[in-house]
Amino acid sequence: MRSPDFDASLKEAGRFPPEGAQPLAADGISTLQINLGRLCNLSCKHCHVEAGPARTELMPEAVMDGVLALLEGQGRRTVADLTGGAPEMHPRYRWFIRRCAMGGAAVKTRTNLVILTEKGFEDLPEFFAENRVEVIASLPYYSEEVTDRLRGSGVFKGSVNALKRLNNRGYGVQGSGLALNLVYNPCGAFLPPRQKEIEADFRRELLRTHGITFTNLFTITNMPAGRFLTFLERSGNLNRYMERLRAAFNPSAVQNVMCRQMLSIGPDGSLYDCDFNQMLGLKCGHGAPDNIRDFDIEKLKHRRIVTGPHCFGCTAGSGSSCTGAVAGQDLKPPRSAGLYRSRNRAYTSDMLKKETPFIKDEECPVCKNREEDCVCCPECGHLCVLNEGELYCPVCGPKKPRSETAAP
């Protein structure tokens, strides 16, 4: 039976690293993802940050100075990945980018695109180009109907306008050296499609309908945090979605999850393994410093990652990260996609916010047996056929009964 605990799933899979002997740990820090604040001109339904126009949290200049010192100390070509909210709305945004670039960092900025059409921000494409900033733009879908349903009325038109301006400045145009990457999020409680396939759809449709080109498309799985978590709870989709993520657990994706190379910095200087941990309030732990003032590369570069059930979001199917899928695109998700439905478990939002184990099952929710008599596959969790003392799993094949595989 697959464990609901993420670290236990790694161990069961026996694939990382090495052979499941250790928990998930960082492998250096090549990217500092800097959250400049929660202020945003939009209030998207799926936003894990719960950003919006009413939010007031902005990174103070003192913390920005600390981040700049960090970047200089890390050496050239460390990536400074700016996010928010809408990072553009930070009053020191342009100054910060210039300082990052002067210090030798490779600068990326996340953008919701619509901000680039608003007064005071319309010249940003030119500014980005001057400072060789990589633009990573959110565009959940290539249709107005779907995008506006997720992000608000008029967003798609504004996004198209902004993309055309970026193209006009050379972004996303072959040979310009100015990268314009788009981010696809599923518009609901389901996993993203294969990155290459949906990228091909976006490329065809945006060019055909709007004459827009771009560099790459990244698929990012919706995480059970923020407004998306609220949606999952209110719509009654939470259990099903969490089971979907768990059933699609792909051990091959674990090696390249973004927390292994990234450190997330909150507006107040707190340190997190990733932006999702930041939104769930899970600071760096296991002995690693959790604030920029205590930054110590030796304690952080191989830190143990703080995990939780939401981590299944980054390891489902082809995996997910701030730069898209992380596992081989030929790798198929487990057979639980399609006809089979995963079992239900009683998830609550508190379980997702805290690093606490689930309540130990006394009765398997699928076969209704006690754990020692469970006839579900010990590897993938599907209900098996019991035949003359042996289990047959429709996904994995013949299995020994759980009573013979359980640890002493």
105 neighbors 71 (Cβ within 8 angstroms): yes
Is there binding between residue 190 and another protein (CB under 8 A)? yes
Closest approach, Cβ 184 to another protein, in A, equals 9
x/- letters, 313..342, toward another protein (CB under 8 A)? ----x-----------------x-xxxxxx
Applying CB under 8 A, which part among 131-139, 183-191, 249-257, 350-358 lies near another protein?
Answer: 183-191
What is the spatial distance between Cα 43 and Cα 234, in angstroms, rounded to a whole number? 18
Q: Which of residues 66, 172, 186, 267 is near another protein by CB under 8 A?
A: 186
What is the spatial distance between Cα 327 and Cα 148, in angstroms, rounded to a whole number? 30
For 330, the token pair is 């030929």
Considering only residues 33-92, where is the footprint of another protein by CB under 8 A?
none
Closest approach, Cβ 392 to another protein, in A, equals 5
Place of tokens 């100075």: 65
169 neighbors 133 (Cβ within 8 angstroms): no
Question: Mapping DSSP to helix (H, G, I), strand (E, B) and coil, where does residue 201 land?
Answer: helix
279 neighbors 348 (Cβ within 8 angstroms): no
264 neighbors 275 (Cβ within 8 angstroms): yes
Applying CB under 8 A, which part among 28-36, 48-56, 193-201, 265-273 lies near another protein?
Answer: 193-201
* Nearer Cβ to another protein (310/382): 382
DSSP 358: P
Is there binding between residue 385 and another protein (CB under 8 A)? yes
Is there binding between residue 214 and another protein (CB under 8 A)? no
Closest approach, Cβ 60 to another protein, in A, equals 42
The DSSP annotation for 34-101 comes to EE-BSB-S---TT-SS--BTT---B--HHHHHHHHHHHHHH-TT-EEEEESS-GGGSTTHHHHHHHHH
For 167, the token pair is 């193209």
* Nearer Cβ to another protein (244/353): 244
**# binding residues, another protein (CB under 8 A):** 34
Count of CB atoms within 10 A of residue 404's CB?
A: 11
349 neighbors 355 (Cβ within 8 angstroms): no
What is the spatial distance between Cα 219 and Cα 251, in angstroms, rounded to a whole number? 18
Applying CB under 8 A, which part among 19-27, 41-49, 352-360, 389-397 lies near another protein?
Answer: 389-397
Which spans in 109-143 are helix H? 124-130
* Nearer Cβ to another protein (89/393): 393
Considering only residues 106-145, where is the footprint of another protein by CB under 8 A?
141, 143
Closest approach, Cβ 350 to another protein, in A, equals 24
At a CB cut-off of 8 Å and minimum separation 6, what does 328 contact? Answer: 252, 318
Q: Which of residues 201, 371, 373, 379 is near another protein by CB under 8 A?
A: 201
Applying CB under 8 A, which part among 94-102, 118-126, 189-197, 230-238 lies near another protein?
Answer: 189-197
* Helix and strand element counts for the chain (H, E): 14, 11
* Nearer Cβ to another protein (201/233): 201
Applying CB under 8 A, which part among 113-121, 196-204, 271-279, 290-298 lies near another protein?
Answer: 196-204
Which amino acid is residue 311, in one-letter code?
A: C
Q: Which of residues 192, 224, 266, 267 is near another protein by CB under 8 A?
A: 192
Question: Mapping DSSP to helix (H, G, I), strand (E, B) and coil, where does residue 106 land?
Answer: strand
x/- letters, 339..358, toward another protein (CB under 8 A)? xxxxxx--------------
Place of tokens 């339904």: 45
* Nearer Cβ to another protein (170/193): 193
Is there binding between residue 197 and another protein (CB under 8 A)? yes
For 23, the token pair is 């928990």
For 85, the token pair is 């909210």
109 neighbors 84 (Cβ within 8 angstroms): no
Is there binding between residue 383 and another protein (CB under 8 A)? yes
Is there binding between residue 394 and another protein (CB under 8 A)? yes
Closest approach, Cβ 281 to another protein, in A, equals 30
Footprint of another protein (CB under 8 A): 141, 143, 146, 186, 188, 190-194, 197-198, 201, 244, 317, 335, 337-344, 366, 382-387, 392-394
